[in-house]
Amino acid sequence: MDIEALQTTLRTFAAERDWQPFHTPKNLSTALIVEAAELAEIFQWMTPEQSATAHNDAVVREQISDEVADVLLYLIQIADHTQVDLKRAVGRKLVKNAKKHPPLRTGLPAGTAATSTVETHVLVDWENVQPREGDLRALVPDVTDVWIFHGPNQKVDPESYGSFGSRVTPVKIARSGKNALDFHLSFYMGYIASRHPDARFVVVSNDKGYGPMLEHAAELGFSARQAAFGTSKAKANGGPMFSLAPTPTPAAKPAPPAAKKAAAKTATAAKAASATTPKPAAKKAAAKAPAKAPAKKAAAKKTPAKTAAKTAAKRTTTQPAAAPKPQAAAKKATAPTKKTRGLEHVVASLKKTQSKPARQAALLAMIKSLLVAKDDDPIIQKTLNDMMAAGKIAINDTGAVQYSL
């Protein structure tokens, strides 16, 4: 069923009859309730057993069909008039329901596995990990299709995955480059999802760079996760491997200015003592050497500037350095830290932005861009935590962001 085409037909149908003024969300939702009541009226006085077999009667089945169609048509029109993307809304709601009501047992109910047509596509980042056939089945027991993305100089033998038959596909990327394989894999996942929207997707890699793409796919209603292999076995079967960067442990604080000054004074005093104490050999040479008149005459001819410079140099070797001016110390104490600069910069930018990120993942991406940080830079998560601590934002359990700027 093409929902968009059906919505176009319904709009045309209403326009040809001048019904548009009446097709408001309030009126359409009221009409939906009436049609749902007419559907319930068919089964009103039946027993549960009779309702389960009522459609075996051709007349009753026709009545059920009419009322179901009316309910669906009104529902589609409500979505049209309120700009609701039905496909996306249904997908996201299914994900929310799955989180709200976890399964009582894993796997499909007995007797339905043979008829299930749900596919699970596993996309392997071969440049990052090289799992074998048994490894893939252990990581993703319900795997149906395998896509192995490898570099131009890597070799993959499809026969080593013989149990998958024709459902294993090696994909050689066009050429090597930074993140080239990651983009190839993401493109193929989108292509497969467009052809099989009900399929499940698992990316096998230890690269955390797939996180934002998989989070976005999940927000759109697709079943998408990442499975680690090798060094991250603990998370292999525990859902998405990607996570937000943890708050870094504060580094050891540097010594206070007073301690630095005391150490500097001690070092200066030791150096001065060493400079003013002549060595034994120097004393002996000085005793034997006769005083020379030309040296005195030369000393007498020294310019006042040179004499002042010499006096200042001598003073610096025997006296401690002057304490910094109060204004300079105050300026240093009030200088913004890297943390404050990052927080203030992000908050100031958000205040100027009309379309603020609505999801936590999008906000983290914006913080990374504003701070010109790398993917694994702890300052990204640290800035987010500082914004929450300062009351600038609030994030609920679903990842939605509320601002108090």
Q: What pLDDT, on a 0 to 100 scale, did the predictor assign at position 111?
A: 46
CA-to-CA distance for 197 and 183, rounded, in angstroms? 20
Residue 384 lies in a domain: yes
Residue 8 lies in a domain: yes
Q: End of a domain among 235, 260, 281?
A: 235
Burial 171-204 (b: 16+ CB within 10 A, else e): bbbeeeeeebbbebbbebbeebbeeeeebbbbbb
Clarify whether residues 16 and 64 are in a common domain.
yes
| pLDDT surpasses 60 at 242 | no
Domain co-membership, 141 together with 68: no
**For the chain, percent of residues with pLDDT exceeding 70:** 69
Indicate the pLDDT class of residue 311, thresholds 50, 70 and 90: low
Choosing from 60, 84, 108, the residue where a domain stops is 84
Q: What is the mean pLDDT of residues 273-290?
A: 48
Residue 35 lies in a domain: yes
Question: Is 186 inside any structural domain?
Answer: yes
Asked whether residue 285 is domain-assigned, the answer is no
Does 211 lie in the same domain as 120? yes
pLDDT tens digits, 189-204 = 999 998 888 899 999 9
Q: Is residue 266 pLDDT above 60, yes or no?
A: no
| The amino acid at 191 | Y
Q: What is the pLDDT of residue 238?
A: 40
One domain, residues 144 and 216: yes
The closest alpha carbon to 242, from 273, 216, 275, belongs to 216
Cβ proximity of 244 and 381 under 8 Å? yes
Range with the lowest mean pLDDT among 74-78, 86-90, 232-236, 280-284?
A: 232-236
Q: What is the pLDDT of residue 95?
A: 85
Asked whether residue 259 is domain-assigned, the answer is no
pTM: 0.35
pLDDT per position as a tens digit, 23-61? 999 999 999 999 999 999 999 999 999 999 999 999 999
State the chain's mean pLDDT as an integer.
Answer: 77
Domain count, the chain: 3
pLDDT computed for residue 177 by the predictor: 86
Q: What is the average pLDDT across 303-331?
A: 50
What pLDDT sits at residue 405?
A: 82
Token code pair at residue 199: 């399929």
Which residue segment(s) compose the domain that 347 sits in? 338-403
- Two tokens at 333? 């104490």
Query: 71 and 155 share a domain?
Result: no
* Residues 126 and 59 both lie in one domain: no
Q: Which residue has the tokens 């029109």?
A: 77
Domain match, 74 and 173 both: no
- Mapping DSSP onto H, E and C, the string for the chain reads CCHHHHHHHHHHHHHHCCCHHHCCHHHHHHHHHHHHHHHHHHCCCCCHHHHHHHHHCHHHHHHHHHHHHHHHHHHHHHHHHCCCCHHHHHHHHHHHHHHHCCCCCCCCCCCCHHHCCCCEEEEEECCCCCCCHHHHHHHCCCCCEEEEEECCCCCCCHHHHHHHHHHEEEEECCCCCCCHHHHHHHHHHHHHHHHCCCCEEEEECCCHHHHHHHHHHHHCCCEEEEECCCCCHHHCCCCCCCCCCCCCCCCCCCCCHHHHHHHHHHHHHHHHHHHHCCCHHHHHHHHHCCCCHHHHHHHHCCCHHHHHHHHHHHHHHHCCCCCCCHHHHHHHHHCCCHHHHHHHHHHHHHHHCCCCCCEHHHHHHHHHHHHCCCCCCCHHHHHHHHHHHCCCEEECCCCEEEECC
Distance between CA atoms of 166 and 185, rounded to whole angstroms? Answer: 19
In CATH, what number is assigned to the domain containing residue 178? 3.40.50.20
The CATH number of residue 369's host domain is: 1.10.10
pLDDT (0 to 100) of residue 178: 86
Amino acid at 342: G
pLDDT in the model for residue 128: 92
Per-residue pLDDT of 343-401, as tens digits, reads 888 888 888 877 788 888 888 888 888 888 888 888 888 888 888 888 889 998 888 88
**What integer pLDDT is reported at residue 270 of this predicted model?**
53
CATH of the domain at 39: 1.10.287.1080
- Residue ending a domain, among 235, 253, 288, is 235
pLDDT class of 86 with cuts at 50, 70, 90: confident
The pLDDT > 90 percentage for the chain reads 34
- Residue 367 falls inside a structural domain: yes
Task: Let me know: does 146 contact 169? Beta carbons within 8 Å.
Answer: yes
Give pLDDT tens digits for 113-171: 444 468 999 999 999 999 998 899 999 999 999 999 999 888 888 888 888 888 899 99
